[in-house]
Structure 1
Amino acid sequence: MKFAFALCLVLASSCLALVPKHPADLASMLARQQFAVRSLMAAPSIGDNAQADDCFNNYMVEQTNVIMGYNKQYTGCISAADQSRSDLTEQSAAERSDLLDRTNKMCSDLSVCEAQSDGLDFFDCYRDASTNSYKTMFTLNSDSNLDYNRINAAYAQVDSVLNACVDEARMDYAHEMDSCDANLTICLNGGAAPTEAPTAAPTAAPTAEVPTAAPTAAPTAGPTDFYKLHPCTLNLRHCLISGISGAVKRHKLDYRGFSRCSEIGSEGH
């Protein structure tokens, strides 16, 4: 199992490195996977493969919780901003309706002149209607300018709140990911593996199913035996590439896709 996780991390890092443009979450995930591989390679030799399995199982669970929590928090920020803009648009409905009514009346007054067949009466009608239209256009310009400035200021406030919300979500994400890295390092160096994933998560996010326990069976085969036992390594690579491609298209990470890949790698144990 240890080598299955290592292979998953290496392939995930290699595939992500080929993506020309990384969404923020994918770029961060690439850095975390590279950290996990470096930690595995730099850790002292661990005789108990079950301990290494537990370390990486808990690392994956913790990462999943942190990423899903961040997505939850970020989505909440975006939804709140969209709702605020929708509320502002709804609140300005009366002003928009008034401007449209005054514009339609002005056009209607000018259209009446088309009924005048006599040349003198036609121009007299247009002279009077255009005088009123000039006054209407001036007030339309003044009122619409005031409404624009008011709504624009409100939109700027919405954007300010959104930026603060997103910055806070990213800061929480960075701190929690650092904690995951620290736990992995301690575990690989022989410390106790955490028995529970972090429970703190924003309250407004979609629920996500997360593994709650590490596999109980420890593999006994070395890297060479692993490849002999698993001729379906290409399937594992295909699984990882498919999961990463889907994440790039959706601009949203779903770590359960990588969990399925690790299950492919652990077949036969």
Structure 2
Amino acid sequence: MATKALLSLLLATIVSSALAQSPVDWQPLLDQQNLVLRQVVQALQLTRSGAGDTDACFDWYLDNQTAINEVYYTEYNLCVSAATAAKKLLSEQSALERQDLLDEGQSLCSALSACESFTDGLQFFQCYNEASSTKSPTLFNISVTSERIADKLKISYQAINDTERVCTTNARVKNVEDLSVSRAHLNNCLIGTWSPPETTDAATASTDTTTEATASTEAPPEATTASDAPTSEPSDGRQGLPEEDLFDFSYMTNMLQRKLNGRF
């Protein structure tokens, strides 16, 4: 039991530091983990019997947290990706107007640059005066057109940003609700009023795979799954030493890091 509880404790600590700089808003997860820390401490202090059932609770909780946050990560990034794609589309749609302004700007610059060849002062300033007078309509058009397009894009970008904010907020609210339900299930599991559901995904996946390779589609009766295996860890003489469980930090950190590499 101490092993699973310590895994959860380390999970909250390591995830908090690892995800603090993530572009995705993981604050709901961190808030929920802070609440779960209290349950972990209570479990360490009050529960040294029934380790198998308690381990099953934390096993389910870790898997459920991973699944919830994978969904949140996907939904959050879909919101961001949609906003980025919408802005990119607007830029592509204004490509012709952009090129027109670039051409006019190049024409204006070329006319003024031509005056650099004059070394005589009078000729130089007369050239600039003539070029600026001739190209003044071009400069005015550049100013008016660029302002109009910029204002239009600004309004469109604001609408995209508003849509993205609503999208990410909805994803965040759903994530908070799912995390709250998960934490409630963990609490009920620890006090014995709720049990994790039976794992059937492995058997279902195996049946679907073998159906294509064999003529029979009947699944084996009562196939053994990972959830059927005993969850109680064999006694190694250390179960009476909670301090050793708690401070075997190097070994447990390595275990959790490998677990996190596959989950986050």
Letter in 2 for 1:33: Q
Q: Displacement, 1:6? A: 1.1
Among 252, 259, 262, the alignment partner of 1:236 is 252
Among 160, 165, 168, the alignment partner of 2:167 is 165
Indicate the SS of the match to 1:10.
Answer: helix
Matched with 2:4 is 5
Letter in 1 for 2:151: N
State the number of aligned residues: 234
Q: Does 1:142 align with 2:144?
A: yes
- The residue correspondences of 1:24-39 to structure 2 (distance < 5 A) are 27-39=27-39
Q: Displacement, 1:51? A: 1.6
Matched with 1:99 is 101
Structure number with the bigger relative contact order (C-alpha 8 A, sep ≥ 6) is 1
Letter in 1 for 2:39: S
Letter in 1 for 2:4: F
**Residues 1:125 and 1:17: Cα distance change in structure 2 (over 3 Å):** closer
Among 178, 181, 184, the alignment partner of 2:180 is 178
RMSD: 3.7
Among 193, 211, 216, the alignment partner of 2:229 is 216
Distance 1:187 1:48 in 2: 12
Q: Displacement, 1:165? A: 0.6
Among 61, 64, 77, the alignment partner of 1:62 is 64
Distance 1:229 1:86 in 2: 54
Query: Which whole-Å deviations, capped at 9, do the CAs of 1:5-26 have from their partners, x for residues lacking one?
Result: 1112233445567789565755
Letter in 1 for 2:32: R
User: Is residue 55–residue 188 contact of structure 1 (8 Å, CA) maintained in 2?
Assistant: yes
Give me the identity figure in percent. Answer: 27
**Residues 1:51 and 1:114: Cα distance change in structure 2 (over 3 Å):** closer
Among 245, 257, 260, the alignment partner of 2:261 is 257
Structure 1: gaps of 5 or more residues: 200-211, 244-254, 261-269
TM-score (norm 1): 0.71
Q: Does 1:78 align with 2:80?
A: yes
Structure 2: gaps of 5 or more residues: 202-224
